[in-house]
Amino acid sequence: MDDKLVSIYIMDKQYQVPASLTIMRALEYAGYKLVRGAGCRGGFCGACATVYRITGNSELHVALACQTIVQEGMRLAQIVSFPANRSHYDFASLRADGATLLSIYPELELCKGCNTCTKACPQELEVMDYVAAALRGDIGLAADKSFDCIMCGLCTARCPGELTPYNIALLARRLYGAFIAPRSRHLAKRIEEIQEGQFDPALAELESLSLDELKKRYNEREIEK
């Protein structure tokens, strides 16, 4: 670990932490026990949304605490949840078109095109582009451009139009997957095999194994290249 220490501020209290740590590790180093806002710790779940400023600079930054290295003078606050709008709907009754998106999330029309959402995205997604695609009714493009969204909510935290881009994108991906994407023949065949019980003996065998035997079987499995 790097022996160099930097000063950071957690809820305005100063701490000295190693300069090599991520924000998340620095919080723990400072004595905080993370019971919320920790998640996967690998940058995939979006649970550790964090806002910070650098002392002497008024610019507000957003980041994932598990990926971002601390800086001298960093002033931190974690955001563990957002009071964001998430509409409820009967998915089976929906149609895959722009009118559906607008009826469920009418705030789409409030997008100001400021691109603040894109600047806030820790995944570096073109958030404004997929919001614009959703507004045009291009569900396929909205689903494609938002595919790597981890639902951290930082785009919503910064949106002056009070949109919830990640929930809008989630609906677009669901509509695309259910009604637009080509059906997978291989998946349909495997579902049929499962329903016919072809894998029941193998599952029964696995259920009969001890934990140590399961670990051994897992570690010795053949991994496809």
Q: Where are the domains of the chain?
A: 5-78, 91-180, 188-219
Q: What is the mean pLDDT of the chain?
A: 92
Output the pTM of the full model.
0.73
Tell me which CATH code domain 5-78 carries: 3.10.20.740
Looking at residue 205, its amino acid is E
The confidence score (pLDDT) of residue 104 equals 95
Residue-wise pLDDT tens digits, 170-185: 999 999 999 999 988 9
The model's confidence at residue 89, banded by pLDDT at 50, 70 and 90, is very high
> Computed from CA positions of residues 30, 35, 36, 41, in that sequence, does the dihedral angle turn out positive or negative?
positive
Mean pLDDT of 194-199: 96
pLDDT at position 82 over 80:
no
Amino acid at 130: Y
Tokens of 61: 């930054």
Assigned CATH class of 91-180: mainly alpha
- pLDDT above 90 (res 93): yes
Alpha-carbon distance 181 to 174, whole Å? 10
pLDDT in tens, 3-27: 799 999 998 899 999 999 999 999 9
Q: Taking residues 184-203, what's their average pLDDT?
A: 94
Grouping H, G, I as helix, E, B as strand and the rest as coil, residue 165 is: helix
What does the alpha-carbon distance between residue 131 and residue 86 come to, in Å, rounded to a whole number? Answer: 15
Confidence class for position 78, pLDDT limits 50, 70, 90: confident
Give dist(CA 137, CA 96) in Å, integer. Answer: 9
pLDDT for residue 166 is more than 90: yes
Token pair of 179, please?
């009604």
- pLDDT at residue 127, as a whole number: 97
Write the pLDDT tens digit of every residue in 41-54. Answer: 888 888 898 989 99
For residues 10 and 70, the answer to whether their CB atoms sit within 8 Å is no
According to DSSP, the residues that pair with 69 across neighbouring strands are: 22
Contacts of 16 (CB under 8 A, 6+ apart): 5, 6, 7
The pLDDT of residue 169: 95
